[in-house]
Each structure stands twice: as structure tokens, then as C-alpha cells.
């Protein structure tokens, strides 16, 4: 049993509990939250090191052999996701020190943040479908509370849609898990993979696969299931939007990749073609939504959808390079998208609005903020040599290698439209003359006064640039992760479920 | 070394604001040292490259996906690199004077240096992806530079337009390059050039060609993508000089020249490239002489020159390539010089409108002299280098085997109108007896006449030393484009020939149009109405169309109504599920309906459940609904009892009881139900959704339960719960031991729910904080009656 697998779940759990115990001590909460976040990141890195050196790692909870207990599994993809989660919570943890108001801090903002991370890490590490459902519940509950905490009207409005649609997803997921259990008698993923590969009752299994596609697709916000996302992401504080934007939908993408590379690979020509078609529609529909919005966070929210399309495009293409492209895209996207939300939060703090119409002139007053916006914005649009370009390139090359021209056309047009809407924000918020006149001194505090906000933004921007300029190690990692995904035997062997019910 | 030469510009760009802070007015001179150094560095390559050597510098970058930082110095890239660094140095010095009093000049230096570095990267790269990366960087830096005066709306519009048009082409180019690399089997350009037959013989040749040309044509402003270039004149003049005449717009030309060994030589190439070039050169030349603004005249004549270059590359014979490369050098010199002159005139005389300017030579003699030098080269008057260029153009069009006469006529008209444009720019403002300008003109400072004088003089020198230029600069470049060693003999004097006669007639035609340009301009004015429906309008239409379609689809999908969202998801789930079931013929292979022994009391409970479920949907009171739901739950629990799962039933009973009590307690204080759907079609949709969802689940359960149960876990749990886990109650052992980890998670959920309820009840930020977030809809026009206010689009 490898303790490293449990740490990414236990660290945020314990952090959360300690924070709840220190309910009335805000200064302690603020400091300890950052410590817990850093610990999570370190645990993730240690786990990656272990998996990189020793292959897929497994922990059987309670010492019960698979498939009877609950198994935690860490392959490269899981480790990458856990590390990204660590980077996110550390950045948001620092950012929140200045972004989150006293009221929210007093009502459990920090414990909720860490419990959310517990759910997210759990989802990345579990090797058990029902356990995944539990982590989804942890995530859903803590994210819902974070979303509506503060009780502002539009928060509640968004929150209700968020929770209703996600509960529907949970219901479909649970129904599918139940039917799956009735069919093959197990919920351990590796065990399921073995049973499904026997090819019995393929029709029912494929039908259940589509239910998983829908359930995880709602979580991932793919077309036409994404409604909850643009309804809610623009309502909470910027830090919360940022961590949601970075991580939540990616949990959905991760689970889609997990089950559609490990379990449901009976008839790739059917399931993965559906995924590819949905990827195309998701990209186009999301970016068209973004192009027509006029509020910074709404634009960014619709772009999340669009880019989910790219991530599952790699899954749909189902080649080593394509999956590597998806993995790389996830790495790039989490960093960049969260950062854009963080920048939007700074803009809101400086000018009190997210509306493009009312903003302007920030490049004149804050050129450095402009640069910090341009890096993730151009990266998002796939401008070389930033991280987004490599992600896009890998996917497009992978698609061209197998003559999948339509999806290439969609991906390229969407990337142009992404550039269009990023330059729209740039033009309206930064370039355009400020529609309201601000006295030079009073309302324009120097950025150094916003250090807690700027440090994470600059850090994430630095990561984006580094991934862009020194992409080889990241690509090597993504390619190895993809190879693992395409070889389920490795995963199954590591979990080593007791075969065929014999004891 | 080449890598460092390319990257140095990016590094210096980072320090440029600091250098400006220290150097102030001298910053331009200091920063220009870098391009001068780069120019000298590349100049050292001239002798060996003229001997036929090429230099390859390779550095690994992302080997996992075959991307290397490899650079190739051959005749073609060397010629471009020297133009880029040479003109770059002059432009940076020039900008130091032109933008001396502008508060954003430090930013200008940053972008222009980054641009220079990117442009060097484009012409030197030997990897298809690296070249694309630099290519895109030129588009981005161009965007930042066109938008330099970013508080002006027209600057922003022009910047965006240039970015979108070249960006669209860029993406096509990316696809084209990747396809070419896949077909050719290498990511290195020098390798691909050896495999021209593989590429031209491939079934993907035509798509590759179209995609690559789309990149080249948009960048080099070929019709119908040309419109962004004249609009890009919103940029400060140094930018127009450097990016939009001397270098960036020639990137497309470079690309076609570079890849012509791999893609050229086919009938398709010749027809497509030649005709786009020919149409562009004539149309743009015709537009140029009708403009009144100095920069607009120059912009259109630049488009025309790019057309000439494209046309020559399309023809592709030795003579044509020779002509193309000579004309490339000629054009960079005279057009760069004239743009700087136009900037100086604007700066010193206060306008660029030629109607308002005359006699400036008296006030600005040096600038005037530079203008004359450049204008003579542009008009192709001997002994200027422009004359050599024009002779060669005629030589190649008259030898064109497809339709020599037509192409020569096009070339003749273009060249003639180019002379008119040259006169409008270099003659009209400076000559004439009366000095006229909106403000009192002075001679431009040294920084601003150094560039045009240098370039103008070079135009003369190159003409006089044509043989030498041909041997050392043009011949290696032509060799690179032809992909084999070749010789070029340039001379000013070719003896009396048809071509010389043609040149003379051209000059006469150009002067004639200039002489009568005001009258002719009025004649042609009506024809310009066409531009209202021209390509630029297509651009705006497609942008508007995209936005209109986007709004429509977003309103359709993201309607703001939770009801619609639920319906779409349910119908998607059921639809996809049913389709999959029938695709795999599950219905024919599996039993769905089978005889089951249903006892009378089982049937009774079932009827009770169904009836209560129906009641839930019909009652108007919350309490009644909760009670009916409770009955459903109890009914299910009883079925558990009957099926031999009393422990499960007990759990269900307690949960149902608890939830009914809790719900009643909460709901008691809330107002009466609001009827969601009143209209009949809506009711029908909802009933359909409910039946479809329930029916699909029932179908699935029937399918699964018809098969023999094969739980792998139950026997193990039953056997080992006491033996290994020391507990008699299997359910308990599962919950706290076998799957205790799940329970830990579920307890966490409950804890968080408690925190959440506490926070929601106690914390209300609405009063203290004013937010500015819109509701989840685009428009708030159609407020319909069936909206539950709290759940749906509250704010408006």
C-alpha cells in the first residue's frame, strides 16, 4: 500500500477539518489554508515522481483485495491532474487572501475550498466507479456552497441551475453504475474493464457507455449539456470562478478519458465517433456563445465549453498523439483559463465591473496588467509559442494523420474565433479609452498594492510561458500518459483484481 | 549563431523600455545597433553563399513531436535577412525622430524589435512548425503595432481586421504545412524541397497548395484579401514602412518562393498563382493613382507590387524568378524610402493630402531629394535599379508560354500606373512653383531623412553596380528558389529591343495619366462604387453573419430556462440510449418481457406506487405532494420486504419518514405551488419527457434483470464479513469496512451541507455589495408567464 496515493485526498481533508475547528480565527485560517494548499501540491509532485519511476501505483483501501474493497490508482494522467489541482488551489488560496470578503471568510470559505479539493483529488485517484460517485457528491456539495455563499441574488439563480443539472447528471451516473453492477457484478474499474472485454451483452454495455457519456458530459459541459456552466460561473467571487473554471469541468473530461480508454473500448468506431462529433459541436457552439457575450466572465465561461471540445477531440480521435494532445491541452487549459478569470477579478476590483461597455483604458494605466492578460489570452487562442499553440498543434496533427479533416477545419475556425473574442476583451478593456474618467491618483492604486492578486497571476503566466518555450518535458509526459491510457492492461495488472470471482 | 541572431531581438525587446528610460532621445540610435550588428553578421555570409554554400544550424527543441529550431542560410533567406535587418535599423532610427514626443514610444520599440526578430525567424527557419511559429508572431506584433494609436476606434478596427485576415490565412497555412510534412515525410523544409515529386504527385497536393497559398495570399495582401493592408495605414508611418511595405507583407512572397521547389512547377501552381498576382497588381495599381492620401497611394501601390511579385513567382521561369528577386530588392528600397518621406511630410507639413501640398522642395530639400531618388527608381528610369527590375518583368511576361500578350498588357498597365503613383508621391508635393502646406514646413531632422536618403542612394548605386548585385545577391537567391545552382547576369543596358521600347511607352503612359489624373479621377469615380460590395464588405458581412448566427444559437441553447435545459438533457439521454440499443440489435437478441410471478399483494403495492406518483404531479399543495412522495417511498420499501431485503427496507423506511417530516417542516412556511406549465403543448412536452425518461430506465432495468445475476461482490461479502471483518451485519460491514472510504466521503458531504446551510441562512452580502453580473440570458425581451421567478432570470 502506497501512502502517497492517499495524501492528495487526506491533506485537503485534514486541512479542511482544522480550518473548521478554527472557525473563529480568520488569520489562522488564511495562513493555514495556504500551507495546506502547498502541501497538496508537494504531495502531487511526490506522487508523480513515484509513478514516473515505478509505473502505475495502487492502494487497496482497508487492505481488501480488488474488486472487493475500494482501490486507489495513480497513473501518469492521475498524477498530472492532482498536480494541476495543487497548482490551482495554491494560486487561488493566495489570491483569495485579498479577493474574498470578510463575510465569506467567516462562513467557511477556506474549509470549503479544501474539501472541494478533496473531492477533486479523490475523483482523479479512485479506481472504483461508485467511489467516484461519492467524490462527485463531495465536489458537488462543496462547489455548490462556494457558489452560493454570500447569497447574492444572481448567485442563487445560477446556483439553482448548477445544482439541479448536476444532480440530474449524478442520477444518470448512479443509474448507469447500478445497471452496470447488475450486468457484470462489479464496480471496480479495472475489474469492469476485464469483464467488459469478454464482449458479452455488448449492446447493453454500449448503451450504458452512452449514459456515462451523458453523465460525465454534463460534468464536462459538452454540447448539448453545458447549460449549467454559463448560468453560474460568472456569479461567485473571481477566485471561486477561477478554480471552478480551471478544475471542475476537467474532472468531467478526466472521467470521460478514464472510462473511454479503460472500460468502454468495445466498439471505438461507434462510441469514439460520437465523442468526436460532440467535440466538434462543443467547440463551435461554445465559441459562438463567447463571441456574442459582452461581460468578461461570461465570455470566458463560454470559452471553457469551446475548449472542452478540444480536450475530448483527442479522446474521439483515439490515437497516441491525439490523447497526448488532450492531456497536454488539459495541462495548458487549466493554468490559462484560471488565470484569465483571476485577471478579470483584478479588472473588476480596479473598475468595479465586468462589463466591456463600461471598461477601458487599462493598458494606459496598468501596462503590466495588460501583459499579464495577453499571455493567457493569446495562449488560449493558440498563438505560438505559448502553451495553447502546442496543444492545438498536437491535436491538429493527430487528426490530419488519420485524415479527419472536418474536425481539423472546426478546430482551426474555432481557434480563429477564440482569437477574435480575446482581442475583443483586449480592445474593449485595455485599448479603448476609459469611458469613465478616473482621477489619476485615487482610483488607480499601483499593482504592488494588489500583491496577493498579482503574484498568482504572474506565477501562472510564467508557467504558461515555460510550457510554451520548454515544451519537451511536458510533451514527453503527455505522450507517456497517453501510452499508458492506450494500454489498459498495464492499469489492470497494477490493480490486479481477483479474477472471475474465484477467491 | 543564427539562433542567437534571431532571438536577440526578443531579448532586446524586453529591455527596450529600460533603455528608453536611460537613453531617451538617443534610444533609437542605441537600439538600432542590434539590427546593424545583425546586418553585418549576415553580410559576412554573402561571399560563401555566392559560391553556392548553404549553412544549416540545428538545435533540438521539442523532439517528441519533431520540432527543431533549425535555421538555413541560403541565398533566399540571406537576401531577406539583410533587407529585414537593414531596413529595420533605418526604421528604428527614423522612429526615434518620428515618435519623439509620443508617450508610448517605449512600447513601440518593444513591439518593433519583437517583430524584427519574428520576421528574421520566418525567413531563416528550416522547420515547417518553427516557420509557422514565427509567422504567427509577425501577425501578432503587427496587430499590436497597427493598434498603436489604440484609443482611436479606426486603429483598433484595422488592427483586428489585419489580425483576423492574416490569422485565418495563418491557420490554413498551418494545416497545409502539417499535411505537406506528413505527405513529404519530413518536418525539415530543406528535406521537403528534395521531395517535390512526392508532394506534387500526392492526392493531397491540391488541398495542400490551396491551404499554403491561402496563408501566403492573405499575408501578402493578394486580391481578394488585400483590403486589410490599406486599412493598416492607421499605424504610425515607421510601422507602415517596415511591416506593411518592406518586410512583413513580403513574408507570403518568401513563403511561395521558398516552397516553389516543393509545390511549384505544376500547371495548377502556374495558373492559380499567376492569375491572382496579375489581377492584384492591376486592380491595386488602378486604385493607387486615384487616392489623395500619400500613405493610401503608397499602400495600394504596395499591394500592386506584391501582385507583381506573386505573378512572377507563378510564371516561375528563370527570367521570372530573376525579375521577382530584383524587383523585391528594388521595391523594398524605394517603397521604404517613400513611406519615410510621406511620414516626414506629414510630420513637418501637417497633412498627407496631396491636394493640399506643393513646392515642399524649397522647405524640405533633403527629403525632397530622397523622394526624387526613390520616385525615379519606382518609375524604372535608368540608371536606377528599378529600371533593371522593369526590364526583367517585361522579359518574363513576353516569354510566358500560356498567354504572353494578356500578361504583358496587364504588366504594361500596372507599370504605367505605378509611374503615375510615383509622380503623385514624389513630384506632386515637392514641385510646383507655390509652397503650400497646412502648417509652416521645416526640413525633417537627421533621424528622419537618413533612411530615405540611404535607401534612395542605394537604389541608384545598385543600378550602377547591377552586375555585382546580380552575382552576389540575386544569383544565390534565384538558385535557392530554383533549387539548383544558377547564374544571373544583370546589366543596365540590354541594347535596343522590343522591351526597351515597351519601357519607353510605359513611361509615356504613366506621365500622361499623371498629367490628367484629376480629370481621369472624376471619370473613374463612379466605378469605385463597386468597392461598396467589394471584399472588405464580405469581411464585415461574414463577421456580422457569424455574430448573428452565434446570437441565434446561443439564445436557442442557453435560453435561461431551467425547464428547457432539463428537457434537452433528458431527451438526449433517452435518444442516444435508444439509438444505441437498436443499433446493436439488443431488442432482437435479449428478452425484455418475460413471465414473472406477480402475487396479488405485489400487484397492489405496485398500483399504489404508480397512483401516488401520479398524484404528485396533479396536486396543487406542497404538503399533499410530499405526502404522496412518501407513499411512493414506503411502497418501494415494502417491495424490498417482500423480496427478502428487510435491512434495506428498514433503511428506506427511516429515510422516507425523516424526509417527509423535514420537508413538511420546511415547506409549511412557503407559499403555495406555482403551476409551471399552463399551455397544452408545454404540458405535452413535459409528459413526454417524463414518460420517456421513466420508460427508458424501466427498459434498461428489464434488460439487465432478465440476465442471470452475477454479482462478484455479494458472495465474498457474505462469506467474509464475519470471518475477516468480524461483523455479523453484512450491510454494516460493507458501510464501515469493505467500503468505509465511501462512507467517509458521504459523511463529508453531510458536514459540508451543514456548513452551507449555516452560511446561506446567516450570510447575506446583497445589501453590502453592488454586483454587476447579468442573468443567464442574452436578452430579456420575451418574459413569458410560466417562469418561476426565483429560479429564472430574476434581474433585468
Each residue's pLDDT tens digit, B41-60: 999 999 999 988 899 998 89
CB nearest to A224's CB, from B174, B557, B712: B557
**pLDDT, tens digit, for every residue of B554-597?**
999 998 888 899 999 999 999 999 999 999 988 888 777 777 77
> How far is the alpha carbon of B439 from chain A, nearest alpha carbon, in Å?
29
* A418 part of a folded domain: yes
DSSP per residue, A303-346: HHHHHHHHHHHHHHH-SHHHHHHHHHHHHHHHHHHHHHHHHHHH
Is the CB of residue A69 less than 8 Å from the CB of residue A63?
A: yes
* A363 part of a folded domain: yes
Is the CB of residue B35 less than 8 Å from the CB of residue B88?
A: yes
Give me the torsion for CA of B423, B429, B430, B433, rounded to 10°.
110
Task: Report the share of chain A in percent with pLDDT over 90.
Answer: 82
State whether B765 and A152 contact (CB < 8 Å): yes
Which grid cell sits at B337?
Answer: 524610402
Position A501 scores a pLDDT of 44
Q: Is the dihedral of CA B64, B65, B70, B74 positive or negative?
A: positive
- pLDDT tops 50 at residue B786: no
Q: Smallest Cα–Cα separation from A324: which of A264, A266, A392, A260?
A: A392
The mean of the pLDDT values for chain A is 93
SS3 for A254? Answer: helix
- pLDDT tops 80 at residue A453: yes
Residues 6+ apart with CB under 8 A from B550: A288, A289, A291, A292
- Quote the CA–CA distance of B389 and B692 in Å, as a whole number: 76
Q: Is A403 on the interface with B (CB under 8 A)?
A: no
Q: What is the CATH number of domain B562-731?
A: 1.20.120
**pLDDT, tens digit, for every residue of A358-375?**
998 899 899 999 999 999
Residues 6+ apart with CB under 8 A from A222: A278, A279, A282, A305, A308, A309, A312
Over the range A61-97, which residues count as b (16 or more CB within 10 Å of their CB) and which as e?
beebebbbbbbbbbbbbbbbbbbbbbbbbbbbbbbbb
**pLDDT, tens digit, for every residue of B214-245?**
999 999 999 899 999 999 999 999 999 999 88
Position B674 scores a pLDDT of 63
**pLDDT, tens digit, for every residue of B727-765?**
888 888 888 899 999 999 999 999 998 888 888 887 776
Residues of chain B neighbouring A156 (CB-CB closer than 8 A): 790
Chain B nearest-CA residue for A206: B580
Q: Is the dihedral of CA A432, B228, B302, B270 positive or negative?
A: positive
State whether B768 and A184 contact (CB < 8 Å): no
For chain B, first and last CA: distance in Å? 62
Q: Is A378 on the interface with B (CB under 8 A)?
A: yes
DSSP per residue, A36-105: HHHHHHHHHHHHHHHHHHH-SEEEEETTPPTTTSEEEEE-HHHHHHHHHHHHHHHHHHHHHHHHS-HHHH
**pLDDT, tens digit, for every residue of B594-619?**
777 778 888 889 999 999 999 988 88
SS3 for B301? Answer: helix
State whether B576 and A152 contact (CB < 8 Å): no
CB nearest to B748's CB, from A118, A131, A209: A118
pTM for the whole structure = 0.93
Q: Which of A61, A159, A227, A235 to mutate to test the interface with B (most CBs of B within 10 A)?
A: A227
Position A45 scores a pLDDT of 97
**pLDDT, tens digit, for every residue of B627-663?**
899 999 999 999 888 887 787 888 888 888 888 888 8
Q: Is B778 on the interface with A (CB under 8 A)?
A: yes
Position A120 scores a pLDDT of 97
The three-state (H, E, C) secondary structure of A447-468, written as one string = HHHHHHHHHHHHHHHHHHHHHH
- Quote the CA–CA distance of B513 and B517 in Å, as a whole number: 5
**pLDDT, tens digit, for every residue of B95-144?**
999 998 888 899 999 999 999 999 999 999 999 999 999 999 999 999 99
Question: Chain B, 582-611: which have a CB under 8 Å from a chain A CB?
Answer: 583-586, 589-590
Assembly ipTM: 0.93
Binning pLDDT at 50, 70 and 90, where does residue A278 land?
Answer: very high
- Quote the CA–CA distance of A191 and A65 in Å, as a whole number: 11
CA distances from A493 to A57, A127, A287, A319 (A): 11, 13, 41, 22
Count of the separate structural domains present in chain A: 1
Residues 6+ apart with CB under 8 A from B374: B333, B334, B335, B337, B338, B341, B426, B452, B455, B456, B459
Is the CB of residue A368 less than 8 Å from the CB of residue B17?
A: no
In sequence order, which ranges of B147-188 are alpha helices (DSSP H)? 153-184
- Quote the CA–CA distance of B277 and A105 in Å, as a whole number: 66
SS3 for A297? Answer: helix
Task: Report the share of chain B in percent with pLDDT over 70.
Answer: 94
Residues 6+ apart with CB under 8 A from B389: B323, B326, B327, B330, B331, B380
Position B761 scores a pLDDT of 80
| A404: containing domain | 268-296+303-469
Place of cell 500526392: B202
What's the average model confidence in pLDDT over B253-280?
Answer: 94
- pLDDT tops 80 at residue A52: yes
**pLDDT, tens digit, for every residue of A162-183?**
999 999 999 999 999 999 999 9
* A482 part of a folded domain: no
Is the CB of residue B173 less than 8 Å from the CB of residue B251?
A: no
Domain ranges of chain B: 276-515, 562-731
Query: In this predicted model, which residue has the larger pLDDT, B522 or A402?
Result: A402
* A82 part of a folded domain: no
What's the average model confidence in pLDDT over A82-97?
Answer: 96
Position A497 scores a pLDDT of 83
Q: Which of A149, A204, A223, A241 to mutate to test the interface with B (most CBs of B within 10 A)?
A: A204
- Quote the CA–CA distance of B171 and B771 in Å, as a whole number: 39
* A43 part of a folded domain: no
User: CB contacts < 8 Å between A and B, how many?
Assistant: 342
Position A500 scores a pLDDT of 53
- Quote the CA–CA distance of A251 and B633 in Å, as a whole number: 33
Residue B293 dihedral angles phi and psi, to the nearest 5°:
-90, 130
> How far is the alpha carbon of A28 from chain B, nearest alpha carbon, in Å?
19
Residues of chain A neighbouring B723 (CB-CB closer than 8 A): none
Is the CB of residue A401 less than 8 Å from the CB of residue A480?
A: no
Position B782 scores a pLDDT of 35
Position B790 scores a pLDDT of 35
Chain B nearest-CA residue for A235: B773
State whether B580 and A227 contact (CB < 8 Å): no
**pLDDT, tens digit, for every residue of A99-133?**
998 888 889 999 999 999 999 999 999 999 999 99
Question: Chain A, 296-315: which have a CB under 8 Å from a chain B CB?
Answer: 297-298, 302
- pLDDT tops 70 at residue B778: no
- Quote the CA–CA distance of B269 and B210 in Å, as a whole number: 9
* A285 part of a folded domain: yes
- Quote the CA–CA distance of B521 and A430 in Å, as a whole number: 41
Position B671 scores a pLDDT of 64
Residues of chain B neighbouring A224 (CB-CB closer than 8 A): 557, 568, 572
* A62 part of a folded domain: no
* A36 part of a folded domain: no
Residues of chain A neighbouring B143 (CB-CB closer than 8 A): 423
Amino acid at each position: 500500500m502506497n501512502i502517497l496515493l492517499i495524501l492528495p485526498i487526506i491533506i485537503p481533508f485534514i486541512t479542511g477539518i482544522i480550518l473548521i475547528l478554527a472557525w473563529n480565527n480568520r488569520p489562522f485560517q488564511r495562513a493555514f489554508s495556504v500551507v495546506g494548499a502547498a502541501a497538496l501540491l508537494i504531495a502531487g509532485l511526490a506522487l508523480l515522481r513515484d509513478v514516473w519511476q515505478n509505473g502505475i501505483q495502487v492502494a487497496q483501501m482497508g487492505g481488501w483485495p480488488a474488486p472487493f474493497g475500494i482501490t486507489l490508482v495513480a497513473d501518469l494522467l492521475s498524477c498530472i491532474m492532482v498536480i494541476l489541482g495543487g497548482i490551482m488551489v495554491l494560486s487561488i488560496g493566495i489570491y483569495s487572501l485579498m479577493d474574498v470578503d470578510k463575510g465569506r471568510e467567516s462562513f467557511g470559505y477556506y474549509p470549503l475550498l479544501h474539501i472541494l479539493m478533496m473531492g477533486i483529488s479523490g475523483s482523479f485517484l479512485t479506481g472504483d466507479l461508485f467511489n467516484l460517485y461519492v467524490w462527485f457528491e463531495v465536489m458537488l456539495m462543496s462547489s455548490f456552497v462556494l457558489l452560493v455563499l454570500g447569497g447574492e441574488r444572481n448567485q442563487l439563480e445560477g446556483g439553482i441551475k448548477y445544482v439541479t443539472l448536476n444532480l440530474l447528471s449524478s442520477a444518470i451516473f448512479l443509474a448507469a453504475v447500478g445497471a452496470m453492477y447488475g450486468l457484470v457484478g462489479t464496480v471496480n474499474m479495472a475489474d469492469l474493464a476485464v469483464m467488459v472485454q469478454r464482449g458479452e451483452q455488448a449492446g447493453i454495455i454500449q448503451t450504458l457507455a452512452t449514459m456515462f457519456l451523458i453523465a460525465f458530459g454534463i460534468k464536462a459541459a459538452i454540447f448539448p449539456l453545458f447549460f449549467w456552466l454559463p448560468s453560474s460561473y460568472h456569479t461567485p467571487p473571481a477566485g471561486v470562478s477561477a478554480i471552478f473554471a480551471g478544475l471542475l469541468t476537467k474532472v468531467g473530461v478526466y472521467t470521460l478519458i478514464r472510462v473511454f480508454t479503460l472500460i468502454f473500448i468495445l466498439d471505438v468506431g461507434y462510441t469514439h465517433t460520437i465523442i468526436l462529433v460532440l467535440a466538434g459541436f462543443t467547440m463551435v457552439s461554445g465559441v459562438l456563445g463567447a463571441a456574442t457575450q459582452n461581460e468578461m466572465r461570461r465570455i470566458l465561461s463560454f470559452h471553457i465549453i469551446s475548449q472542452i471540445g478540444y480536450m475530448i477531440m483527442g479522446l474521439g480521435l483515439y490515437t497516441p498523439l491525439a490523447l497526448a494532445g488532450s492531456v497536454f491541452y488539459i495541462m495548458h487549459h487549466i493554468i490559462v483559463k484560471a488565470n484569465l478569470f483571476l485577471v478579470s477579478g483584478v479588472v473588476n476590483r480596479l473598475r468595479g465591473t465586468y462589463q466591456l461597455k463600461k471598461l477601458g483604458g487599462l493598458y494606459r494605466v496598468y501596462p503590466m496588467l495588460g501583459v499579464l492578460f495577453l499571455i493567457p489570452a493569446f495562449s488560449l487562442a493558440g498563438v505560438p509559442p505559448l502553451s495553447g499553440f502546442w496543444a492545438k498543434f498536437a491535436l491538429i496533427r493527430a487528426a490530419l494523420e488519420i485524415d479527419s479533416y472536418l474536425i481539423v477545419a472546426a478546430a482551426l475556425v474555432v481557434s480563429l474565433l477564440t482569437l477574435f473574442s480575446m482581442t475583443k476583451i483586449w480592445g474593449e478593456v485595455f485599448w479603448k479609452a476609459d469611458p469613465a474618467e478616473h482621477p489619476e491618483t485615487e482610483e488607480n492604486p499601483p499593482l504592488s498594492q494588489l500583491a496577493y492578486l498579482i503574484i498568482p497571476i504572474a506565477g501562472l503566466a510564467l508557467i504558461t510561458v515555460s510550457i510554451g518555450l520548454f515544451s519537451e518535458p511536458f510533451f514527453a509526459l503527455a505522450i507517456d500518459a497517453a501510452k499508458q491510457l492506450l494500454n489498459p492492461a498495464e492499469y489492470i495488472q497494477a490493480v490486479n483484481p481477483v479474477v472471475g470471482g474465484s477467491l | 549563431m543564427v539562433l542567437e541572431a534571431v532571438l536577440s531581438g526578443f531579448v532586446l525587446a524586453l529591455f527596450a523600455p529600460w533603455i528608453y528610460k536611460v537613453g531617451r532621445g538617443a534610444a533609437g540610435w542605441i537600439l538600432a545597433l542590434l539590427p546593424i550588428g545583425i546586418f553585418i553578421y549576415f553580410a559576412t555570409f554573402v561571399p560563401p553563399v555566392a559560391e553556392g554554400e548553404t549553412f544549416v544550424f540545428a538545435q533540438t527543441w521539442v523532439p517528441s513531436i519533431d520540432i527543431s529550431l533549425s535555421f538555413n542560410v541560403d541565398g533566399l533567406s540571406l537576401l531577406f535577412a539583410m533587407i529585414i535587418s537593414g531596413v529595420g535599423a533605418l526604421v528604428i532610427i527614423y522612429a526615434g525622430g518620428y515618435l519623439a514626443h509620443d508617450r508610448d514610444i517605449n512600447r513601440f520599440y518593444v513591439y518593433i524589435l519583437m517583430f524584427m526578430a519574428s520576421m528574421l525567424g520566418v525567413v531563416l527557419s528550416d522547420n515547417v512548425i518553427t516557420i509557422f511559429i514565427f509567422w504567427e508572431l509577425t501577425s501578432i506584433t503587427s496587430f499590436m503595432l497597427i493598434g498603436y494609436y489604440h484609443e482611436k476606434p479606426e486603429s483598433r478596427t484595422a488592427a483586428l481586421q489585419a489580425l483576423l485576415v492574416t490569422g485565418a490565412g495563418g491557420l490554413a497555412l498551418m494545416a497545409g504545412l502539417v499535411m505537406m510534412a506528413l505527405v513529404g515525410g519530413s518536418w525539415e523544409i530543406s528535406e521537403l524541397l528534395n521531395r517535390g515529386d512526392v508532394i506534387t504527385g500526392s492526392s493531397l497536393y491540391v488541398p495542400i497548395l490551396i491551404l499554403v497559398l491561402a496563408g501566403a495570399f492573405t499575408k501578402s495582401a493578394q486580391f481578394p484579401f488585400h483590403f486589410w493592408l490599406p486599412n493598416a495605414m492607421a499605424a504610425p508611418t515607421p510601422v507602415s514602412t517596415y511591416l506593411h511595405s518592406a518586410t512583413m507583407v513580403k513574408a507570403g512572397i518568401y513563403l511561395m518562393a521558398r516552397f516553389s521547389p516543393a509545390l511549384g512547377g505544376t500547371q495548377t501552381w502556374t495558373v492559380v498563382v499567376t492569375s491572382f498576382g496579375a489581377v492584384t497588381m492591376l486592380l491595386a495599381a488602378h486604385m493607387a493613382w486615384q487616392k489623395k492620401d500619400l500613405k493610401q497611394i503608397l499602400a495600394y501601390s504596395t499591394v500592386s507590387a506584391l501582385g507583381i511579385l506573386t505573378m512572377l513567382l507563378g510564371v516561375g521561369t528563370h527570367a521570372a524568378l530573376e525579375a521577382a528577386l530584383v524587383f523585391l530588392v528594388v521595391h523594398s528600397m524605394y517603397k521604404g524610402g517613400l513611406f519615410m518621406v510621406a511620414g516626414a511630410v506629414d510630420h513637418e507639413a501637417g497633412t498627407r493630402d496631396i491636394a493640399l501640398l506643393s513646392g515642399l522642395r524649397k522647405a524640405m530639400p533633403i527629403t525632397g531629394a530622397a523622394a526624387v531618388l526613390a520616385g525615379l527608381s519606382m518609375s524604372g528610369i535608368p540608371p536606377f535599379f528599378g529600371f533593371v527590375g522593369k526590364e526583367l518583368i517585361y522579359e518574363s511576361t513576353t516569354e510566358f508560354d500560356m498567354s504572353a500578350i494578356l500578361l504583358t498588357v496587364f504588366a504594361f498597365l500596372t507599370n504605367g500606373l505605378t509611374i503615375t503613383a510615383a509622380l503623385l508621391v514624389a513630384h506632386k508635393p515637392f514641385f510646383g512653383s507655390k509652397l503650400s502646406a497646412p502648417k509652416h514646413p521645416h526640413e525633417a531632422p537627421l533621424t528622419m531623412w537618413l533612411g530615405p536618403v540611404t535607401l534612395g542612394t542605394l537604389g541608384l548605386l545598385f543600378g550602377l553596380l547591377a552586375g555585382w548585385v546580380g552575382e552576389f545577391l540575386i544569383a544565390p537567391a534565384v538558385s535557392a528558389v530554383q533549387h539548383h545552382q544558377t547564374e544571373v547576369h544583370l546589366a543596365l543596358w540590354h541594347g535596343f529591343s522590343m522591351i526597351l521600347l515597351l519601357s519607353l511607352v510605359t513611361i509615356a503612359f504613366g506621365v500622361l495619366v499623371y498629367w490628367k489624373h484629376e480629370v481621369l479621377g472624376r471619370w473613374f469615380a463612379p466605378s469605385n462604387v463597386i468597392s461598396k460590395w467589394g471584399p472588405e464588405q464580405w469581411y464585415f458581412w461574414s463577421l456580422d453573419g457569424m455574430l448573428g448566427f452565434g446570437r441565434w444559437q446561443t439564445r436557442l441553447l442557453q435560453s435561461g430556462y431551467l425547464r428547457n435545459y432539463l428537457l434537452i438533457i433528458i431527451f438526449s439521454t433517452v435518444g442516444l440510449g435508444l439509438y444505441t440499443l437498436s443499433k446493436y440489435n439488443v431488442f432482437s437478441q435479449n428478452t425484455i418481457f418475460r413471465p414473472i410471478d406477480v402475487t396479488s399483494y405485489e400487484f397492489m403495492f405496485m398500483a399504489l406506487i404508480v397512483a401516488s406518483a401520479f398524484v404528485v404531479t396533479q396536486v396543487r399543495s406542497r404538503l399533499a405532494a410530499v405526502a404522496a412522495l412518501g407513499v411512493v417511498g414506503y411502497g418501494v420499501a415494502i417491495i424490498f420486504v417482500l423480496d427478502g431485503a428487510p435491512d434495506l427496507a428498514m433503511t428506506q423506511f427511516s429515510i422516507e419518514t425523516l424526509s417527509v417530516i423535514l420537508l413538511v417542516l420546511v415547506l409549511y412556511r412557503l407559499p403555495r405551488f406555482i403551476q409551471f406549465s399552463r399551455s397544452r403543448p408545454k404540458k405535452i412536452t413535459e409528459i413526454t419527457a417524463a414518460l420517456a425518461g421513466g420508460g427508458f430506465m424501466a427498459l434498461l432495468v428489464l434488460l439487465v434483470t432478465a440476465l442471470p445475476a452475477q454479482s462478484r461482490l455479494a458472495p465474498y461479502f457474505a462469506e467474509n464479513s464475519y470471518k475477516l471483518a468480524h461483523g455479523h451485519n453484512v450491510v454494516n460491514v460493507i458501510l464501515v469496512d469493505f467500503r468505509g472510504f465511501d462512507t467517509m466521503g458521504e459523511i463529508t458531504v453531510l458536514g459540508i451541507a451543514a456548513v452551507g446551510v449555516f452560511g446561506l441562512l446567516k450570510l447575506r452580502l446583497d445589501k453590502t455589495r453592488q454586483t454587476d453580473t447579468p442573468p443567464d440570458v442574452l436578452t430579456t425581451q420575451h418574459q413569458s408567464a410560466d417562469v418561476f421567478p426565483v429560479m429564472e432570470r430574476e434581474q433585468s
